[in-house]
Structure 1
Amino acid sequence: MKRIVFLLLLAAALLVSYRSRAQTTGQTIKGLVFDRQSQAPLPGVNLIVVGLSPQKGATSDGEGHVRITDVTPGRYDLKASGVGYKELLLPNVLVTAGKQVVLEIGLEEYAGALQEVVVRGTRKNATANEMTTVSGRSFSMEEASRYAGGRADPARLVANFAGVSAPNDYRNDIIVRGNSPTGVLWRIEGLNVPSPNHFATLSATGAPVTLLNTNVLRSSDFFTSAFPAEYGNATAGVFDVGLRNGTTDKPEHTLQFGLFTGLEAVSEGPLRKGGNASYLVAYRYSFTGLAKELGIPIGSTAIPHYQDVSFKINSGTTRVGRFTLFGVGGLSDIAIKHDEIDSSDVFADPRRDTYSRSKLGFVGLRHTLRLGKDAYWNTVLGTSYSGNASRQDTLQEPATGVRVREVNSRETRYSFHTVVNAKLNARFTARAGLQGEFYQLNLLLRDREYTPDWNYVWDSKRNTQLWSAYLQARYSLTGRLTLNAGVRTQHLTLNQHTSLEPRLGLQYQINERSSLSAAYGYHSQMQPLNVYFYRGLLPDGQYDESNQQLDFTTSQHWVLGYDLLPFENWRIKLEAYYQRLSQVPVTRQRSSFSLLNEGASYQQTEQGFLINHGTGTNRGVELTVEKFFSRGFYGLLTGSVYQSTYQGSDQIRRSTAFDGRFVYNLLVGKEFKIGRLKQNALTVDYKVTHAGGRPYTPVDLAASQRAGKEVLLGDSDAFSQRLPDFFRMDIKVGVTFNSKQKKRTHAIYYDLQNVTNNQNVFARQYNKVTRQVNTAYQIGFIPNFVYKLQF
């Protein structure tokens, strides 16, 4: 049946293309050109489409707006140039018949003598945050949708970048340079938010399905270490996501169907005629139920249901500044019943029913005010809510009763972030900001094992606040040498702990094709809220809450990088790093426990009596070789060799749960122009990932058989064995049809994931039925189909 559906949709798209007239309809490329340091609009900047004859281009007006009309659908390189500014090349801009192209074009002013060094355009994938020195990269909405095996998930996209590992088909946790995924900060439109995923739990960092809809994202930044001072409360990395504005001159719409992303509808357009105010709203509903009916495996017979909505309303420029209202929210639930599972289920127990539902959402209001020509003031106010409720009923013989475990957690967060940015001159830009986060936590976790009496692990209604302030600056010492420096402080009111965090980066432009960078960053992060409020049971029946006195975990990053553009449309990047973590929570008594391994399993940490005496180190070398999209071809090769270790309170150095040792990714894509006017495209994308197996602690079989549940071996065997290496190959084939008569685009993709059906090991765990240690495998071969209509 799935083949019939695919062939019918393909035939329909072909019919639409065939019945179109021979006269192709051109599309519009428009955008805002601005100074990258001050965000001030730039008039008089020329934007041209490279390679067209006759030449097609336009010049930005007094408010920085630029508009190129009647562009034939296809992929193009754009070039922006203005007097006194470095030339900017925007490669691989996709133009379709169904949607206008809207760009944000930031130019950097020359800081030295023009003849001193002329860089060949701003680096592709350079971060939007201009105060980045090393270990940062941007990605676009188009990239998140293009790569094979990505499931339209930004978190899975960044797993292709050097230094990032995510060898898990079931969850999208981001492992950065051997760090726990809890060390990653998520920021959306300047607002710090919980990890944006469906089926998320308190303090979790990953889940099976992302809450972010790639159809509403703009180019966003991802950092893997030594990030600028405006980012804090993170020790591993930063995911700085932006939502794009809607179109401002006419309504546009998108409809999309995917076997895993579900049914989607996006609408955008102007709020009023003749202005620059706009709206953008998107809704998505899961389609996994249909996938089951079509016989497509999804890894479990339990069917997850979810839905989400995203929106952004932009006021346009007013006399009192620009206001933006944005938000994302989602609902999800799943039921795994003991009598509806089979032997391939990973998360199911034939003696247990599991019910889980989650709610996650955030809304924010952003205000930007110009302070003269070269400064601005930006403020974001927002709130987020994360709630999860689950129940596990373990069924036994009638005589022994039932074991029940219930979790009901709710976190409400109120946040604000205000920052003033000033460009003092072409060499010097400074930025100062203040952040506040107010946490309200309602945490309940209780269980009872074959008795009517409940044991309360958590039962807390608590509040706390995290305050932060930062100052950072960018100064061009010469036309070749640039300094990025900053300092940050943060204070937790729960226990009155304070940190002071210096940041420093230097970049030297060796010549027009190469540069050398070095950076140092001191970072600190509060512990997960559930760890602070864990209650340890004392012999007298009282509870110990000393975890509330835990200090921040700290991290120091040292990074050295080399960047080379050997040929046109090619880039080679090499980075070496060393990271030292300290003040890591470990147990008071000698053991192998360390909170650096948090996130390795799906269980929340239930450990009290912790102290900040643990340490950890991460070191490695990363290589990126990238062929930017040109002449219909692109390629990306990334490789990381690393070591991740830690010490618990027993002072024995071990591999962390995330010490995979290596990860390699190869992505290659080719686009063929088809159709009589070459306005349509056939695309083929290929991806292969090879990652080292992660360490794990073996099961104590005899103890597990006696206890009737999984029991791991003791401290002497902690993380002493490794899972087999992870290998996966994905192939994606797509066809895009641009209507010749109407502004309409049809796109069809068939994404074949794990085409070799490689049996990657998920875990080796105790099976209560067989009373043996069984091997659970990850998802095998799985096809995904996507149809997209833009009009």
Structure 2
Amino acid sequence: MKQFFTLLLSLLVGVAFSQKGVVKGTVIDKLTEVPLPGATVTISTGSSVVITDEKGAFEFTNVPLGRLNLTASFAGYASVTIPNVDVTAGKEVILTVALTETLTDLQEVVIKQQPGKVKSLNKMAAVSARQFSTEEVNRYAGGRSDIARLVSNFAGVSTANDSRNDIVVRGNAPTGMLWRLEGIPIPSPNHFSTVGTTGSPVSALNPNMIANSDFITSAFPAEYGNALSGVFDLNLRKGNKETYEFLAGVGAYPGAELMAEGPFLKKEGSFLVAARYGIAGYLGGAGTGAAIPNYNDIAFNLDFGKGKAGEITFFGIVGFSDIEFLGKDADDSDLFSARDANQKVRSNFFVSGLTHKISLSSKTFLKSNIAFSGSANTYDEERIYFLDQPQEVTLPFTVNDNQDYRITVSSYVNSKLAKGVLLRSGVLLEHFSIDYSLRSRDRQSDADGDGFPDYNSIYKTKGDYNVVQPYAQLQWRLSDKLTLNGGLHGHFFSLTDEVKAEPRAAVTYNVTSGSSLSFGYGRHHQNVPAPIQFQNENVDGVLVQTNRNLRLVASDHYVLGFEQRLGDNWRAKAEVYYQSVTKAAVERNPTSYSSITEGADFGFSTDKVSLVNGGRGRNRGVEVTVEKFFSDGYHALLTGSFFDAKYKGSDGIWRNSPFNNQYVVNFLAGKELKIGKARKNTLSFDMKLTTSGGRFYTPVDLEASQAAGYEIKQDDIAFSEQYRPYFRLDLRTGFKFNSGKRKSAHLIYLELQNVTDHDNIFIARYNRLTNEVNEVNQIGFFPDFGYRYQF
């Protein structure tokens, strides 16, 4: 970290002075990603017209600061307008404009881009998909600079948890999510995450590193697999190839941050590198009481430019985190600590990969990736027995050490077979290596008669397995109104030698120029979480992996959607869906347990052994979105999700899923004002209001818990009780100052999170010290702040 800061400061020499901005980028064919030389690009702030060069590149200099519209057109393609491009003095704007070839004989067709900007980058994602930008992460209130929290604003997603950023899609467990970075599946990209989970309190993804990306909530295209609920397909942006640019900032949740980018290899390529150090714990905003969380991350993306061998990029992210909860600092209201325990938590996450792309012809390219990624977490706990009594003694209680690594290789060919016909086919290979161990006294008997629960090995396993996923998908635009998408995804799981074929299909029909109807279907498979699959059972004194042969869980998605443009800057969208889940892992004896319920906490069950694939689940609902895209100085977003998520264990009873909030409503709005004599500075106001039904939970059996000394739940009435509804209001104001002399910009913001200080319940749990069931609330009112300097 020290070396990075030294490098960053050494690059500050020679920063240019300017009162104007720069807008540049590339115009490409959307299907082939081939540059379009000779395309016409105009901006709304003047009469300037630029023709793209032989590389499809364009550049506008001396652009007035503020927001503008950019339009690109090319003969035989539909013109595209990108609205509200934010031009600042501190950073050049770099865009990639993708044009779609028309199927008519018209030379030019004008398309209003405002509703289209939320369409996914992936050409094959026709339903339940949305594109998002870094600007949205930084603009919306309550986001904490966390990309996972951004998508909680979208229809179909619920979090209702201030302490974790798990993504719950349409009532599915968060373990059903697929995280991808640069086309590579990755572990949970979070600080303080545990192996097998997909969320945590703090994200390790720096939003300043992220380019426009996709979020898909069901029936995803054939190239995605090993997921049941949704896909988070992230892209890293590339650095500026022409000039050096820097960012320095500080905020409550992103922490202290530095970023640098600029030309690399004589301007043939670029570099982008960023580092952050968390400070939320020092400000009291982590919800961890007296314990101070330590977390930091470093990310980079090196673009080696385009040569005869193609385009090569090298990228990576590394995150470190640790925290100590000491019993002497705890009280009964703490979320994570207790007065009779000392706990130490350490977590690491990393991914590093190489991407290669080469054009095989003007209509075909090959893209390949190889990556190494992994996560590791350790949890050490000492338990203080007979607290505050003369015989007080401290003993080791739990040591949990889990490591998960994977090597990933992928390659696909993207080919435009004819006008309006795109074929993409490829294969993804993943090799997983795991090393899990858990030794604990939790819920153990006192076989040795020393007066304390025995310190037993719950599981200790090392293992390897492979997942191979070939796929092929075709998009066929029969006309400018009708588009068909179809594909087949293969899934091979080496532990059980299963081979699955997963059909995917979607159709989109443009009823009018401003409305469209779509339908999608997809079959998907995913193995149960690895901590469950490799769990040990003590059989005659020998630890045996009795869950090892659990087969893949299956899911079928059906989605029907309708979208209507309400004006140049308004759109409305509605989707109805049904999802059927089969072959979930359940116990052999009749119980309420199902692997569908895993993922609601920081870890997994440790006593679920000899499981079988007999469980089921069903999710159904309707989602509505009304959106006002940013124009005329304001934006608004209203989303409503109304759903029912149920599951059935081996007892044959349909029960509420723990993720069945039943409804989630979000309302976001913001206003931006131009201020100052030159009208080049802005003052912004944003708000977010969220309300949702409470999660269902299993009540505690107080009498049994008091007798045992640890929490025992009434599993025969699992998830029969519901927490009170969740409510939160966040307000944010920001000021952006564009320097009139120096090429720099300042951004200052203040955010009041949970401004009403509403008590949202985190958990109702048995307290072994008070012998009662106590409610613990989530983080209350907290003022967040931030300052960024771009130069």
Give TM-score, length-normalised by structure 1. Answer: 0.94
In structure 1, give the amino acid aligned to 2:777: Y
Q: Distance in 1 between matches of 2:436 and 2:542?
A: 19
Q: Distance in 1 between matches of 2:152 and 2:711?
A: 31
Structure 1 residues 125-178: Cα deviation after superposition (integer angstroms, max 9, x where no partner): 111111111100011011111110100100000000000000000000000000
**In 2 relative to 1, CA 75–116 (structure 1 residues): closer, same or farther, beyond 3 Å?**
closer
Matched, 1:591 2:591: yes
Q: Tell me, what secondary structure is at the counterpart of 1:518?
A: strand
**In 2 relative to 1, CA 77–343 (structure 1 residues): closer, same or farther, beyond 3 Å?**
farther
Match of 1:69 among 43, 50, 61: 61
Identity %: 41
Structure 1 residues 662-704: Cα deviation after superposition (integer angstroms, max 9, x where no partner): 0000000000001110000000000000011110000111011
Q: Which moved more, 1:40-49 or 1:174-183?
A: 40-49
Q: Tell me, what secondary structure is at the counterpart of 1:705?
A: helix
Q: Distance in 2 between matches of 1:362 and 1:399?
A: 45
Alignment of 1:366-405 (within 5 A): 366-397=355-386, 398=391, 402=395, 404-405=397-398
In structure 2, give the amino acid aligned to 1:45: A
Matched, 1:91 2:83: yes
The 8 Å contact of residues 76 and 105 in structure 2, kept in 1 or not, is answered as no
Structure 1 residues 446-488: Cα deviation after superposition (integer angstroms, max 9, x where no partner): 1136659641122111111111100001001222110000000
Q: Tell me, what secondary structure is at the counterpart of 1:603?
A: coil
**In 2 relative to 1, CA 71–298 (structure 1 residues): closer, same or farther, beyond 3 Å?**
farther
Q: Tell me, what secondary structure is at the counterpart of 1:704?
A: helix
**In 2 relative to 1, CA 492–242 (structure 1 residues): closer, same or farther, beyond 3 Å?**
same
Q: Which moved more, 1:701-710 or 1:541-550?
A: 541-550
Q: Tell me, what secondary structure is at the counterpart of 1:155?
A: helix
Q: Distance in 2 between matches of 1:311 and 1:581?
A: 39
Alignment of 1:253-652 (within 5 A): 253-273=246-266, 275-292=267-284, 298-397=287-386, 398=391, 402=395, 404-448=397-441, 454-538=455-539, 540-606=540-606, 607-652=608-653
Shift of 1:24: 7.0
Q: Tell me, what secondary structure is at the counterpart of 1:156?
A: helix
Q: Distance in 2 between matches of 1:364 and 1:91?
A: 34
Shift of 1:742: 1.0
Shift of 1:714: 2.9
Which residue is equivalent to 1:19? none
The 8 Å contact of residues 23 and 93 in structure 2, kept in 1 or not, is answered as yes
Which residue is equivalent to 1:781? 781
Match of 1:153 among 137, 146, 149: 146
Which residue is equivalent to 2:704? 703
Gaps of 5+ in 1: 1-22
Q: Tell me, what secondary structure is at the counterpart of 1:228?
A: coil
Q: Which moved more, 1:125-134 or 1:335-344?
A: 335-344
In structure 1, give the amino acid aligned to 2:33: Q
Which residue is equivalent to 2:35? 41
Q: Tell me, what secondary structure is at the counterpart of 1:280?
A: strand
Q: Distance in 2 between matches of 1:24 and 1:672?
A: 23
**In 2 relative to 1, CA 312–690 (structure 1 residues): closer, same or farther, beyond 3 Å?**
same
Shift of 1:617: 0.4
Q: Distance in 2 between matches of 1:600 and 1:250?
A: 46
Structure 1 residues 239-290: Cα deviation after superposition (integer angstroms, max 9, x where no partner): 00011000001110000101221110000000133x3300000011111354
In structure 1, give the amino acid aligned to 2:764: R
Shift of 1:297: 7.0
Q: Tell me, what secondary structure is at the counterpart of 1:547?
A: coil
Which residue is equivalent to 1:692? 693
Structure 1 residues 510-555: Cα deviation after superposition (integer angstroms, max 9, x where no partner): 11101100010011111211111101223x3333423111111111
The 8 Å contact of residues 193 and 602 in structure 2, kept in 1 or not, is answered as no
In structure 2, give the amino acid aligned to 1:413: R
Matched, 1:247 2:248: no
Shift of 1:89: 2.0
Q: Distance in 1 between matches of 2:49 and 2:650?
A: 65
Which residue is equivalent to 2:733? 733
The 8 Å contact of residues 77 and 109 in structure 2, kept in 1 or not, is answered as no
Structure 1 residues 614-647: Cα deviation after superposition (integer angstroms, max 9, x where no partner): 1100000000000000011000000010000011
Q: Distance in 1 between matches of 2:595 and 2:112?
A: 45
The 8 Å contact of residues 763 and 775 in structure 1, kept in 2 or not, is answered as yes
Q: Tell me, what secondary structure is at the counterpart of 1:108?
A: strand
Which residue is equivalent to 1:20? none
Q: Distance in 1 between matches of 2:68 and 2:538?
A: 64
Q: Distance in 2 between matches of 1:48 and 1:527?
A: 52
Shift of 1:107: 1.1
Structure 1 residues 306-343: Cα deviation after superposition (integer angstroms, max 9, x where no partner): 11100000011101100000000011000000001234
Shift of 1:566: 1.4
Matched, 1:763 2:757: no
The 8 Å contact of residues 45 and 59 in structure 1, kept in 2 or not, is answered as yes
Q: Tell me, what secondary structure is at the counterpart of 1:479?
A: coil
The 8 Å contact of residues 382 and 394 in structure 2, kept in 1 or not, is answered as no
Q: Tell me, what secondary structure is at the counterpart of 2:512?
A: coil
Q: Distance in 2 between matches of 1:125 and 1:260?
A: 27
The 8 Å contact of residues 233 and 524 in structure 1, kept in 2 or not, is answered as yes
In structure 2, give the amino acid aligned to 1:575: E
Shift of 1:496: 0.5
Shift of 1:68: 1.2
Q: Which moved more, 1:522-531 or 1:724-733?
A: 522-531
Structure 1 residues 320-378: Cα deviation after superposition (integer angstroms, max 9, x where no partner): 10000000001100000000123431111110111010111010000000011011000
Q: Distance in 2 between matches of 1:213 and 1:473?
A: 34
Q: Distance in 2 between matches of 1:644 and 1:152?
A: 30
Which residue is equivalent to 1:228? 221
The 8 Å contact of residues 419 and 434 in structure 1, kept in 2 or not, is answered as yes
The 8 Å contact of residues 197 and 603 in structure 2, kept in 1 or not, is answered as no
Q: Distance in 2 between matches of 1:524 and 1:34?
A: 35
Structure 1 residues 174-198: Cα deviation after superposition (integer angstroms, max 9, x where no partner): 0000000000000000111001000
CA RMSD, Structure 1 to Structure 2 (Å): 1.6
The 8 Å contact of residues 273 and 300 in structure 2, kept in 1 or not, is answered as yes
Give TM-score, length-normalised by structure 2. Answer: 0.94
**In 2 relative to 1, CA 345–63 (structure 1 residues): closer, same or farther, beyond 3 Å?**
same
Which residue is equivalent to 1:110? 102
**In 2 relative to 1, CA 119–91 (structure 1 residues): closer, same or farther, beyond 3 Å?**
closer
The 8 Å contact of residues 374 and 422 in structure 1, kept in 2 or not, is answered as yes
Matched, 1:32 2:26: yes
Gaps of 5+ in 2: 1-16, 445-450
Shift of 1:115: 9.7
Q: Distance in 2 between matches of 1:268 and 1:168?
A: 35
Q: Tell me, what secondary structure is at the counterpart of 1:510?
A: strand
The 8 Å contact of residues 752 and 784 in structure 1, kept in 2 or not, is answered as yes
Q: Tell me, what secondary structure is at the counterpart of 2:116?
A: coil
Which residue is equivalent to 1:16? none
Q: Distance in 1 between matches of 2:543 and 2:430?
A: 28
Q: Tell me, what secondary structure is at the counterpart of 1:424?
A: strand
